[in-house]
Each structure stands twice: as structure tokens, then as C-alpha cells.
Amino acid sequence: MIVAIIQARMGSSRLPGKSMAEVAGHPLLWHVVNRVRKARTIDKVVVATTEGAGDAPIAELCSREDVGCFRGSENDVLDRFYQAAQAAAADTVVRITADCPLIDPAVIDKVVGRFQLADCDYASNTLRYTYPDGLDVEVFSRAALERAWREARKPSEREHVTPYLRSGKFRRANVENDAPVSANQFRWTVDNAADLEFVRAVYAAMNGNGAFGYNEVFELLRRRPELAAIQTELIPNEGYYRSLYKQAKAGSAKKLPLAQSRAWFERSKKVIPGCAQTFSKGHTQYVQGAAPIFLQSGKGCRVRDVDGNEYIDYVQGLLPNILGYANEEVNTAVTAQLAEGHSFSLPHPLEVQLAERLTRLIPCAEMVRFGKNGSDATSGAVRAARAFAGRERIACCGYHGWQDWYIGGTTRKAGVPQAVRDLIDPFKYNDLTSLEKLFSEHPNEFAAVIMEPVNFVEPAPGFLGGVRELAHKNGALLIFDEICSGFHFGLGGAQKLFGVTPDLACFGKAMGNGFPISCVVGRAEVMHVFEEIFYSFTFAGEVAAMAAAMKVLDILEQTDALARMESNGRTLQDGLNTMAKEAGLGDWIQAIGRPQWSLLKFTDKNGNESPLLKNLFQQEAVKRGVLILATHNLTAAHDGPAIHETLEAYGEVLKTVASWIGDPDATRFLDGPMAQPVFRVR
């Protein structure tokens, strides 16, 4: 028997009594029950409420409407659900919550149908949101529910019914909407008074008739967008994140065994200046004594250090591993190419095939030249722009690599001739006036404007288009440095996302999932300059990395990898921000930016950057198995269980740091010297 159990209570913290709130002449719960009843796959509907006196009106409604009602534990909701399923003799349980009065019977049937394929223990349309929040359906077997009831121990697992079922211990399946939407774009659940007003307006527009589906609601909102403006923004599943924080325990985590890391560090000091090949991968970027120094292996979103400690890795090699470490499909493609050779004496057809593919995907790309590092691409683009324009000065915004033309304008300028330094001029992001000032101070001198089109701050309306207009007005080319934004924010990069096409663009990092490859792309008129300038090196045409790039593009184009990254990244971002507020640190610790690549921003009570807070957070995170610098570099391998594990660790970190930060000498909680910034860019 397939039994829909509707979870209902009167004691909502935000909107008490919402289950019985009037909507189109009936209680809100009445609408939920009657919409669920219309699902073809449902044999029986039961409302599960509490034994508390305050929930008596729910039981009375069920009695009047001839709906099954089970009353159980107020706090152990998992037990209430299990006992309700037992009493109803359910073989399959469909979980619905009473705050979803727009629930669609057709969506219920679709999720139940997916579960009935019998290859999973749990099916839902919420593992990744492609339906509006408020059309949530979860389906699971009574056997799986019983196992969760027996094994789940954490308060968050007992209070919210399905977290344990959503873990890696069960076979799970997600149901996708044919026309995916973002849960943050459409939220149809009732959490507060504004949501209730929205639902009432929808029912009123439908003349109180409950016989409508979500497509009709979409059409209504298309015709009357002012209805959606009624609602206020809320974080989906905020109550669950608060539960994670509530159950977290404060206190510094145990120090990790790092003897082998220290031994390799001592050896490296004798032969490697700085003990690492990249500043941002060096020991100075972490709290020394708390974090590993050498890693041994990685798979998916996890890495293992030389001492055998395992971490969920949010650094991911500084962003290139868009699919995670050691992706089998990518590695197989590379292995096949290696067997045939990979660094040839003449061009290989893969160069043409990959270039053709990039010209189809990237708006500005008419021609392509390859490199190995992001710095190869940005430096090649700048050299091409100078040759094309017959000018030397460059305006820049953001980080663009290690080569002289750029790094000479930063504090890491040692060894760069003054004449080179004098040709780079930075301007401020989202500030057209600062760019206009450069053009007015140096008329007819700029060859190009190079910039990161987006990092952790969204471009203001008209900003990117304004930069392009200013550049062209002053005879300069526009170059987008998409080494970081490329592919993470969509296959066409930020230029496609924001609808502004540059003259040239640079891509790299994620392109090869860790195999070294980058490229300069752009309009043919400019790209032909590469036939004259010297942009030529031995490994530019190495094709093992190109084989990797072709497979990466296959996966990004043919699967939901990018969508999963965004969804899981949003969960991580929302969870951290919710728990930071619970810890009283909401103004001090925030995850900002797009969920695929978000920045952890640490400030003090005066709003100034706080290195101490950042170091305390980073230290306690790594000791709990979360490796992080200052960003969440999401990959397709960061799945739901990994995100959940991270949020549990973050709950403990935040509760611990909150107990320390008011100490007159909070530095005493550090296990070693603080991380040292390479230099400030963003």
C-alpha cells in the first residue's frame, strides 16, 4: 500500500497556526490533503501530527474530512512518521509537508513512478531542486524508514525525518523537472505571513478552485509577476540548518597526526625554494601545525595526506578539478591518448577538433590558440592586443597570472623592470569612473582592458557593457579573463551568462579537470595576429590534455554536472550562512558569490577584514576533515553526503569560534603561526 503521510503541526516558529490558516474558504491543510488525494498513485492519506493539545484542531479537521490522523512525538518526528506508517500498514511512504498548498498531484505521481522502478530505497525531487520549493515529494520504502528509525541518532536526523535516508547509506534517485527552475527563483511553500498572502492570491486568481497544477501557476505568474513580489526571501531548509547547529558541540578538535607531512617538509626545504611550486599551495597558506603540508592521493571530492588523514577538499588544486580528482572517464580518455603518443612533431587532429568545439560553445570564439597555464593565455592575449592596437598600456581588473606585464603592478613585483611596471594600470570593479579616469589620463595609449568579468561580486547592471563601450570608444580591445569563471558558470562562460561579448577571452583551469591546458579565444580579425607575434612553446600542442578537455566538455554538455554543482554549492552556502547567524557571527562570517565558486568572507565587528577569524575557522575546519583556503571550489563530485558532512563540521567550527572570538587574546587558540597572504588582489 502506498500511503501519503502529511506532516503537520500548529507550532511553527515563523507562522504559528499556519496549518489551519484560511485559504479560499478552507484551512491550508485542507487544500494540501485534497490535492494529495488527487494523485493517482496514492492509496491512502494520513496526517501525522503531535500529541500536544495545541494540535487538537488538526485532529478535529481530519475527523471532519474523514482523513486518517496519527498523533505522535512532537520532537522525534522520525518516530512519529515511522509509527504512522506502521499504523497505516504502508509498504511505501510518500512524505508531504503541510506547508505546501500548491503541491501538484502529477508531480507526486511522477516521483512515486520513479520509486516504483525498484532500483532505489529513496526517491525525491529535492536532492537537486528543479521544481519550485513547495512541490517537494519524498518517497521511500517502509523498510528503509524502519532502518532509519533504528539507526538515526543525531537530533537533526530525528527532527527532520529524511536526512538519514538521504545519506550515502541508501540507494537514492532524484526526479528532474522537464523545464528546470531554481528553488531560489520560485518558492511556493508557506513559511511566513508574506508566503500565506502569496498563496491566497494564487487561489483567488484561480477563483478558489484547487484543480490546477504547477504549470497553471507558472502561467499565472508570467501574466501577473507582481504576485511573486509579495514574498520575502528565505533560505530553503533553514530549519534543518539550525538543527545542525543546535546539535553541534563546541571545542577545539583534536590535532591531526602530521609526522610524515613534517618529514617531507624538512626534506623539501633543502631542495625546493618555498617548499612548493605554487604560492597558494604552500604551507604558509594554512595555520602551521594544524594543517597537512603534503597530499598523497585524491578521488572525487576527497584527498588523503601523506599521514593517511582524509579531507573533503574545497581547494581542488586551485579550481581546475571541476569533476573532482581522478575522474575515471577523463583518465580513460587520457590513457587512450597516451598509448598513441601525446607530444608530436606536427599538429594533431585533436587540436582542430577541440578548437572547433570551443568556437561553438564560447560566444566570442572564432579562432583558438592553446597554452598550458592561465598565465600563458592572459599573456598571449595581452601581447596580441598590443600588436593589434599598436599600443602598450594595459588596464586591468582582477588577478591575471604571474607574468611580468601583470605581476609588476602588484606587491609581488620583485624582478620586474620598472618600464614594464609602468605600463599596467588597475581599475576598480563595478566602477566605470575609475576606468574613464585612466583613459582620460593616458589618451590613445591603451591597447586593451583585461578583466575578470565576475568573481565573488556580481557585475552591476550595465557595468560589463559599459567597460566594452569605453574600451572600444578609446581604441582598446576588451579581454575577459575567464580562467576561473569559464565552464564553472556555464559552458559559454561569464560572457554568455551576462550577454557581453569581448574581443578576446582566456580559459583554463576547469577545461582539463586538472590536466594542464588553457586557451586564448576571440574574433578572427584579432586572433590572426597570433600568426605574427611569438606565442609558441613546446607543449602548447600536447594532446593528452586536449583529450581530457574533450571528455570534460562531453560530461558538462551531456550530464547535469553543472546543475549539481550549483545545487550542492547553494546548500553549502545557505547552510553556512544560516549557522553563522545562529552562532551570532552572521555579520562576521559569510559565504558570498555564486554557489559554484563562493568566497568565505571574514570580518571583525567594525566590518574590517579579520585574518584571525579566518585562521581560526580554517584551522578548526581542517582538523575536522575539511580542507579549505577561503573559497568553496565546488566540483561535480561534491555530492549530498559530502555537503552534509561539511555542514556538520561547520556547525562545530562556528560554535567553537563563537566561543573564542570575544576572548581578549583569541590568538592563543591558534595551533601555530597564522597563514600569510601572497598578496591582495580581490
Q: Which residues are catalytic?
A: 399, 481, 509
Question: Would you give the DSSP letter of residue 98?
Answer: T
- Cα–Cα dist 188/540, whole Å: 51
Are 351 and 546 within 8 A, CB to CB?
Answer: yes
Q: Taking Cα atoms as reference points, which of 319, 299, 323, 326 lies closest to residue 311?
A: 299
Are 672 and 289 within 8 A, CB to CB?
Answer: yes
Label each residue of 31-64 as H, E or C.
HHHHHHHCCCCCCEEEEEEECCHHHHHHHHHHHH
Composition of the chain by helix, strand, coil, percent to 5: 40, 15, 40
First to last CA, the chain: 58
Query: What are the distances in angstroms from CA 275 to CA 265, 269, 278, 282, 412?
Result: 7, 6, 9, 7, 18
Cell of 203: 487561489
> Could you tell me which residues come within 8 angstroms of residue 606 by beta carbon, excluding any fewer than 6 positions away?
none
Helix 193-205 vs helix 28-37: crossing angle, to nearest 10: 60
- Cα–Cα dist 187/214, whole Å: 12
- Cα–Cα dist 655/657, whole Å: 6
> Could you tell me which residues come within 8 angstroms of residue 153 by beta carbon, excluding any fewer than 6 positions away?
none
Q: Which residues of 205-228 are buried (b: 16+ CB within 10 A; e: fewer)?
A: beeeebebbbebbeebbeeeeebb
Are 481 and 452 within 8 A, CB to CB?
Answer: yes
Are 230 and 197 within 8 A, CB to CB?
Answer: yes
- Cα–Cα dist 536/325, whole Å: 30
Cell of 25: 474558504
Cell of 48: 501525522
Dihedral pair phi/psi, residue 449, rounded to 5°: -110, 120
- Cα–Cα dist 363/480, whole Å: 12
Cell of 124: 525525491
- Cα–Cα dist 32/152, whole Å: 28
Which conformational region is residue 532 in: left (phi greater than 0), alpha (psi within -120 to 50 degrees), or beta?
alpha
- Cα–Cα dist 474/395, whole Å: 12
25: number of Cβ within 10 Å: 8
- Cα–Cα dist 322/319, whole Å: 7
Cell of 516: 594542464
